[in-house]
Structure 1
């Protein structure tokens, strides 16, 4: 199983400003401390190997979209995608390339919920205009089709949903049920969020498990009621978890906003004996340095509270690939 992150921000897309880029260049120049480089490749090597990620790279600005690649695409196994944030546009372009090389033109979406940052990429999803494509949209919400059609009404978008050429169908899933899609088994869990959200547990034929759990609020003072979540995360090879806020933000001014913290995610993963956690759904006002700082604090907290095997803590960014 291979997990690709196409969009990792929450709430709305963000882009680096000229000032942010200039600051990164200035920091890189300071770190180079007068060094000269023979060519571009040598300079790239310095950036990749000697600069911290917040200086040499970026966590990105696209909203939620994650691809789960499992099975054998050449044998007809479909694309599996979690959410349709603005990162979906990049996935769609790459998917068209892969389809031209023989990948099946079947797309199974699993929707956490229907808020705009999680569906805004669909009007720009190129395969939706492919008459040979088959798109199946799975959701725990019976009004998923209503939400997607509404954002493409003429007052909001110039291309009507009815102009799309792919064969599109909607499937309503039930929490607690298990479904078979291509090479994976999918379990569904309802979560705490406005208008509800749903988490998904994907298990491939080899037993590898990836959990997608975003836009869910887990309160620190009510963790005794989260045993079902820890069970859903049980022994997962990767848990992609909503860690939008710091603990301080999540228990103060942003309580009841429907999101969780890095601290709570680690506690839940420890409880479920998960192997790896990806911090996800980054707060749009957080800079790359802010996110990197939260990542470092998360790793330290995991180490201090560890009672069993280590939990590897990753920080998701647009373009990250994780092989399970």
Structure 2
């Protein structure tokens, strides 16, 4: 399967500000030497040598992750503002059918759907999966006047809704998908996709606690021995302690969780909107150190960046 990040920011879309761009330029200029501008090749080499937080960005769109299965089917997790970009730059599924799995229905996870081009194409079918029985109503409510000019009734004919339950297995092509309930205000659900002997886990919006480390059949089916787990790592510990019951986790709690469930690689996800790229780079460095300390190097750590993709 191929995994592509279209939106990785938490809570609210967060565009790169002019001040943040200015600080990136200053940081780059502080590193430059005369030989770095002697030729086009030297300039390219200099830019390539810059830290990722200077030459790039994690992005500001809210959650949307696209999986292209080995069999060609498209599985999408959440419909945050990143879904708009997916509609502009991703190839539609060959079979004309999206399989959209919803973790929950807070605004930052649904606000991209009204701006997704394919939603208005009657030849495209959307299979929507969620443990929330009112999923259709939740989509429709954000598209009523005066909040949006197009009513959901205009597009609902090519949306099919499927109620799923923890412990149930959904088969799509050669992939199997299961879910588990997590701690979040109003509830949220994590999903595991297994295909070709590989497991990818989407675990956004979760406030981890001791009960999440208990090996229940439901949790084991989703988290045990994942090749990659994409998980809510929104806060530092200090901020997590100030925001108890807000529904998100400190990055070190996410690392403890991934290590407990024997994941091979963890991506930090659902980034705090007030954290700029430099702050997130600092957190990534701390996360890598901590993961090496507690796992002896068995858990690889990365940070989810908008536009990045990988094969699994």
TM class by shorter chain equals over 0.9
| 1:226 Cα offset (Å) | 3.6
Match for residue 139 of structure 2 among 132, 136, 148: 148
Cross-structure match for 1:292? 281
| Inter-CA distance 246–227: structure 2 relative to 1 (3 Å threshold) | farther
C-alpha separation in 2, matches of 1:323 and 1:225: 28
Aligned-residue offset at 1:224 = 7.3
Q: Which runs of 4+ in 1 moved over 4 A?
A: none
User: CA RMSD for the aligned pairs?
Assistant: 1.7
Partner of 2:21: 21
Q: Which runs of 5+ in 1 are unaligned?
A: none
Correspondence for 2:81:
86
**Pick aligned residue for 2:113 from 106, 116, 122:** 122
Alignment of 1:47-58 (within 5 A): 47-48=47-48, 50-58=49-57
Q: Which of 216, 220, 237 matches 2:206?
A: 216
Paired residue total: 309
Map Cα deviations across residues 195-216 of structure 1 (whole Å, 9 max, x no partner): 1111100001x11110001111
Which digits, 9 at most, give the CA deviation of each residue in 1:214-257, with x for residues without a partner?
Answer: 111113xx35754344663211110000001112211x211110
Does structure 1 conserve the Cα–Cα contact (< 8 Å) formed by 2:167 and 2:221? no
Of the three residues 291, 297, 300, the one matched with 1:302 is 291
Distance 1:176 1:291 in 2: 35
CA distance, structure 1, for counterparts of residue 53 and residue 147 of structure 2:
35
**Aligned residue in 2 for 1:69:** 68
* Cα-to-partner distance string for 1:7-33 (whole Å, 9 max, x where unaligned): 000000011111211111111111113
| Structure-2 change in CA distance of 1:28 and 1:52 (3 Å) | same
SS at match of 1:297: helix
Deviates more, 1:184-193 or 1:27-36: 27-36
Alpha-carbon shift at residue 154 of structure 1 (Å): 1.1
Quick one: structure 1 residues 231 and 302, their matched pair in 2 at CA, closer, same or farther if it must change by over 3 Å? farther
Going from structure 1 to structure 2, the CA distance change for 1:166 and 1:38 (only over 3 Å counts) comes to farther
Question: In the aligned structure 2, how far is the partner of 1:231 from the partner of 1:285?
Answer: 34
